[in-house]
Amino acid sequence: MYRKYVMQWAVIFDMDGVIIDSEPFHWIVNKRIFAELGVDISESEYQQYIGTSNTNMWTLLKQQYGLAQEVSDLVAMQVNGNIAYMETEEIPQVRGAVQLIGELSSNGIPLAIASSSPYRIIDMVVSGFNIRNNFSALVSGEDFEHGKPAPDIFLKASQLLNVVPESCVVIEDSTHGVTAAHAAGMRCVGLNNKNSGNQNLNAADMIINSFSELSIQKLQQLATCHKNE
C-alpha cells in the first residue's frame, strides 16, 4: 500500500550532472584509468556511458576491449579515483539545484536521489552540500543488476517514497536517465547540462537549460497532469 501524502506527488533527482557537476572530472579520472589499462577511448565514445551504472559501463568495455580485470576491480578503480579527486578538489555544484531541493523540502514534497553512483559518493555529495536531511530516500545503481536505461532504480525510489510512479517527476541530464524515467512510468525534466556531453533529451516532458526555469508549480503540473488524461 502507498501512503497518502497531502501533495500526493514526489520528485526524484539524478545526482551526477544534476546536483553535482561531476561529468568533467569523471572524464579526467576515467581517462587516466583507460591509459593505465592501455585502451584508447575517445571522449565522444565515453559519453555514451554517461547516465548508466559503473558496472554496466565496465561490463561493456571489458567485452569490447578484452580487459583481463574483473568488472568489480574495474569499478573499484573508478570509484576510488573519483573519491580521491573529490577529497582533494572542490566539489562543483550545479547552480540552483541545492536551492530547489531546499524549496521542495520546505514545502513538504517527498524527495529522493536515484543515482548510478555508489553510496560512498552519494554520501559524500549530500553531506558536503548539507542536503542529506532533505531526502527521504537515497538509491544507488550499485543495488541493481540492470542500471539506467532500465527503470529499476526509479521504481525502487518511488517505493521508498510511498508515492506511485505516475505521480513522480524525475530530473535527469542524460539520455539513459530520461529513458529510464519513462520506462518507470514517470514524467521527466531534462536538464541540458553542457558538461554532460552530447545527450539527447528530446524525449523529456520538459527541457530546461538551468534550474531558474523550474518551479514547484511546474513540477506539480507535470506530476499531476496524468490525472487529467
Among 67, 88, 109, give the residue marking a domain's end.
Answer: 88
* Phi, psi dihedrals of residue 37, rounded to the nearest 5°: -85, -10
Same domain, 64 and 79: yes
Listed residue (97, 116, 89) closest to 19, CA to CA: 97
Among 88, 114, 141, give the residue marking a domain's end.
Answer: 88
Q: pLDDT above 70 covers what percent of the chain? A: 95
Range of the domain at 138: 10-21+93-228
| pLDDT band at 2; cut points 50, 70, 90 | very low
Same domain, 115 and 167: yes
Say which amino acid occupies 158.
S
Listed residue (104, 114, 132) closest to 9, CA to CA: 104
Distance between CA 134 and CA 154 in Å, rounded?
18
List pLDDT tens digits, range 46-93.
988 887 888 889 999 999 999 999 999 999 999 999 999 999 988 889
For the entire predicted model, the pTM comes to 0.86
Listed residue (165, 133, 135) closest to 151, CA to CA: 165
Residue 147, domain CATH: 3.40.50.1000
The per-residue pLDDT for 50 is 84
List pLDDT tens digits, range 9-44.
999 999 999 999 998 898 999 999 999 999 999 988
